[in-house]
Structure 1
């Protein structure tokens, strides 16, 4: 407790025995007011800390600094444990733990500052135990409180003192939060969440009714394929529909997410191939039967074809009936160019008797079951090129059944697939077509029969019962679709007249059929090979979309999710600072353990206060018993600073003023 007020004398103004006698207000030591009582708790804490600092046990003197370092170490270990737990997990599942790591990181960095700054503060008193420059005091004091002073201390000590390590730690601790933040990153990855399906087909068996005439079954064409194929016969075919970031799938797929992938699978399909056969064309002017003109009279059968002279490019020119593929007719009146043949498609199997031309194929004799094998010739520069006798383009193209290996994917609304391989039946076999002419009072026509089923056995299948293909009936119904334009002709009477196509020769007895084309896909500059490839894909997709015989291929449905990824290398810096701070603390404890005369003040400002008081007061306040209540201390002391005079301490009637040296004297260099 403070000494009673009666012990504090009143000092009058004046000078006596060389002492200043200016009257001062007494420092009251009555019972603590209610306002002071609110501060009593904090004062007890400070007194308790001072008692620990005054302990003879080195562990107790540095207890709170060691505890602070242990708290920082515990927080860092906890952060590492949390990162081990959440590494690779979804961010949404780890939000609470991520928040906890941020909180622990702040505690770790704050707790690490305490032992570093306190140790650096104690080194300040050790530094001034020896004679040092006055401004070093200010530099040390700032170094224990912030990075600016720490940098100044680094320059002052030139890195050759233990205090330099503490200053370096103070500076580096500024960056510890940044390194904690860089440890964790969010990585968006695709995660398997469901399954998707895509169709394939093994045996194509469309539902088709059977028609009869007078009890005789009629050959029908596949209406589903005919609907698709007609768009390629007379126009540019089907066009992809833009959807999302790609195109809409032409087959029914199921993808519950925005990204699905399927393993490579096999499906029945239609394949196409084309090869240039321009070397088979010969230019000449030949008088022969003209079968290609648009305005035929009569039934349009071979018996009604007129004879005349035509100039152009012929195929099979040495035969009895050479075939004009591109050219023009000479008018009988003046032998000037007349009607021009722009495009001709010539199937290598005749219709309707199904007899082979050129052995049924020129370049694709190994394909056993072609749907169509034809020569397609088109004028390179329209009717002007025909009249200038320019060489047309000529291709042999084939469509056939095949087994396709496909890799499919669906991403962000766009479907894509890649054909990685295909297998076609190339085994030799008997000629499959047989025909006979039927003539009766009820029916006149040709009985057409395809004698074998199409079976394709890929190398991945050992059981022939699992082969791919179609029945002989489906084969006949599919071939019948292509009879519409194979054969066909596109002609024009002159350069100003719109071209006409003549096709559907199976109805020739009822008269020739012609149509005006808005777009001719078989004539350059259009790419016939690419056109037929698109047609083959469209028919393949049609078969795979069949609700009767298609199967489903299971694939993987992926969803984009955000995961936590830990970059462990970023923890190197915080752990290094933790280690260096421990080394610095231990070295400071060892170095200052013998500073009994100085006292363990650390960052306290008490020495600057105590050692400016009168000597008798210094001896009382600097004694360890003053701070250790267990040794009889605990007396409350009040101090007041008076301007131009100094300190006044309760219980003492002396005033502390700065000592004045004689005017003639001068302080030694380096002393205050």
Structure 2
């Protein structure tokens, strides 16, 4: 930009270049013949005598479309950005919620998104950069600081210059609202790529697995194979059921699991024939009657008051089960004053009785609780706690033994709908949520000559409804009749704890909770009944884990905002440029090289060689651009 002082005149107001042009035009051409005429002393050129260079006939070229001086490229760039945005949305809609396994291309979906977004952002920045470049020319249609040329030109070249424009706008420097929009879009475009990386996610989902196995087992009937030779084993319980009884009581039974070879399986609610148990602590409901025994050997070594101690007791439970205790297994006594052992004194005033007794006693077909016809009902008597006596309670009856009554009976079991994940430790998805007692109807008499296929049918007690919509339950009569003697033999146990314990079933029954043991046994037998050959599979649904492509649509908002913002900026810049009748120089720097800058003498910048001084002067100078005939001119105002 050339700087000329406006107040120095050269050759009557003509510049040196103008004088040179005049001298050139006034020189006579060597190929001209000039003739003087006497009249008036005026020289006249005879056109017929003038010899010129041969003229070349050339057609006048029509000016072509000014591509660089129009908004064609910018319109094309925003069109490309819109097309890219539409392609991005179409691509995302196409792949949304589709399995990743169906993507058969080498390039990942994230790469496709990145490519589209990069092209869209580049096209947007072309338009934004051109608009910022043009806005610096439009700004000087009115007086403005010359330094704004530098500021806006830097903004058109990248985010750092755009950030400077925004900061100057915050602190009061006015470069126009469209300039701020363009600078903001340039800075905002930096976040487009990180936002684009957040659009796609790949969550795992549970989907239906085809060609997978998923079923649980249930049965409404049981028919054993039986023997036909009339041997004594004919009436015995089938070995598989004996094993189920014992493994349940020993709590070594493995619960029957549904079949599932997929990642997980879902099973509906179902009902099956099974075995149930019910126990209740009836100690408080047991009646106790005690009498003084006729003679007890320990009387000779204790205080005479203990001769009236009622240690001979009989008991009757709430279910009319009776049992007696006529003495204790061992007795300890001592003198509380001297602390001497009872064998050295005959006046001991402290006595401890030890019964050391545990027993389970089964009964057959006795109604107990609300169970009308159990397979067996049994009572557990636990008299292992010692009884202490002093002179103050010498005539009181002893404490009661712990009494538990139980019933084992046939029932129907309702299993809840469940989701079964294979491989999960301690997983028990098949949970019983309801039971209904079943009683046998029309039981045939036992006969070794009868076929084992003769059925025993079950029905709920009078006034009760079955849980199942298909209430047909049956079992072959041999198996049905064999349950009772087998359980009576198992639960008919008594042990004297003063003797050495041997490893038998009594040991397990006594050491564990009878209620839990019977529940485990019932579950074990039910699982065997469910898995028999006459059962029916309960079909479930198999699922597998599959990775899906999921679109997070909110993350696409930023590319949309940047694209729409660039369109609005282009429209605003084009309308303003047309209203101001400005030449579309846009980002071109060449017009500045041929422009003139007219400043006052005190603001002369031609000799300034310091960047800071040049910047300070340009910040202070306000100029306006004159676009008249002749060179582009900036005049200080």
Provide the aligned C-alpha RMSD in A: 4.3
1:537 aligns with one of 516, 523, 526: 523
1:132 aligns with one of 134, 144, 162: 144
Q: Which runs of 5+ in 2 are unaligned?
A: 1-15, 18-62, 295-308, 332-345, 391-397, 598-603, 609-615, 623-635
2:264 aligns with one of 256, 259, 262: 259
Matches of 1:670 and 1:320 in 2, distance apart?
Answer: 118
1:497-536 superposed matches below 5 A: 497-499=499-501, 516-517=503-504, 520-523=507-510, 526-536=512-522
Task: Give yes or no for the alignment of 1:104 onto 2:116.
Answer: yes
Q: Is the 8 A contact 2:359 2:495 kept in 1?
A: yes
- Quick one: structure 1 residues 486 and 327, their matched pair in 2 at CA, closer, same or farther if it must change by over 3 Å? farther
- When the two structures are aligned, how many residues end up with a matched partner? 490
Task: Give yes or no for the alignment of 1:557 onto 2:542.
Answer: yes
Q: Is the 8 A contact 1:339 1:492 kept in 2?
A: no
Comparing 583-592 and 565-574, the one that deviates more = 565-574
Secondary structure of 1:139's counterpart equals: helix
Q: Which residue of 1 aligns with 2:328?
A: 328
TM-score between both structures, scaled by the size of structure 2: 0.67
Q: Is the 8 A contact 2:446 2:481 kept in 1?
A: no
TM-score between both structures, scaled by the size of structure 1: 0.64
Matches of 1:550 and 1:200 in 2, distance apart?
Answer: 5
1:502-556 CA distance string (max 9 Å, x none): xxxxxxxxxxxxx5448734336x322122111111111122233x222211111
- C-alpha deviation, 1:262, in angstroms: 0.8
Task: Give yes or no for the alignment of 1:204 onto 2:205.
Answer: no
1:245-280 CA distance string (max 9 Å, x none): xxxxx3364212121111111111111111221121
Q: Is the 8 A contact 2:455 2:475 kept in 1?
A: no
Matches of 2:504 and 2:312 in 1, distance apart?
Answer: 23
Comparing 191-200 and 130-139, the one that deviates more = 130-139
2:252 aligns with one of 230, 235, 238: 238
Task: Give yes or no for the alignment of 1:579 onto 2:564.
Answer: yes
Q: Which residue of 2 aligns with 1:32?
A: none
Matches of 2:321 and 2:467 in 1, distance apart?
Answer: 48
Q: Is the 8 A contact 2:278 2:406 kept in 1?
A: yes
Matches of 1:100 and 1:387 in 2, distance apart?
Answer: 91
1:271 aligns with one of 269, 276, 280: 276
Q: Which runs of 5+ in 1 are unaligned?
A: 1-16, 19-47, 55-60, 241-249, 289-308, 350-355, 437-448, 500-514, 614-656
Q: Which residue of 2 aligns with 1:630?
A: none
Task: Give yes or no for the alignment of 1:183 onto 2:199.
Answer: yes
Matches of 2:262 and 2:506 in 1, distance apart?
Answer: 40
- C-alpha deviation, 1:348, in angstroms: 2.7
Task: Give yes or no for the alignment of 1:52 onto 2:78.
Answer: no
Which structure has the bigger radius of gyration? 2
Q: Is the 8 A contact 1:326 1:386 kept in 2?
A: no
- Quick one: structure 1 residues 433 and 346, their matched pair in 2 at CA, closer, same or farther if it must change by over 3 Å? farther
- C-alpha deviation, 1:566, in angstroms: 2.0
Secondary structure of 2:510's counterpart equals: coil
- C-alpha deviation, 1:326, in angstroms: 10
Secondary structure of 2:259's counterpart equals: coil
- C-alpha deviation, 1:49, in angstroms: 12
Matches of 2:85 and 2:141 in 1, distance apart?
Answer: 37
1:411 aligns with one of 401, 421, 425: 421
1:353-502 superposed matches below 5 A: 360-366=366-372, 368=373, 370-379=374-383, 382=384, 384=386, 389-406=398-415, 407-414=417-424, 415=427, 416-425=429-438, 453-456=456-459, 459=466, 467-493=472-498, 497-499=499-501
- C-alpha deviation, 1:481, in angstroms: 1.9
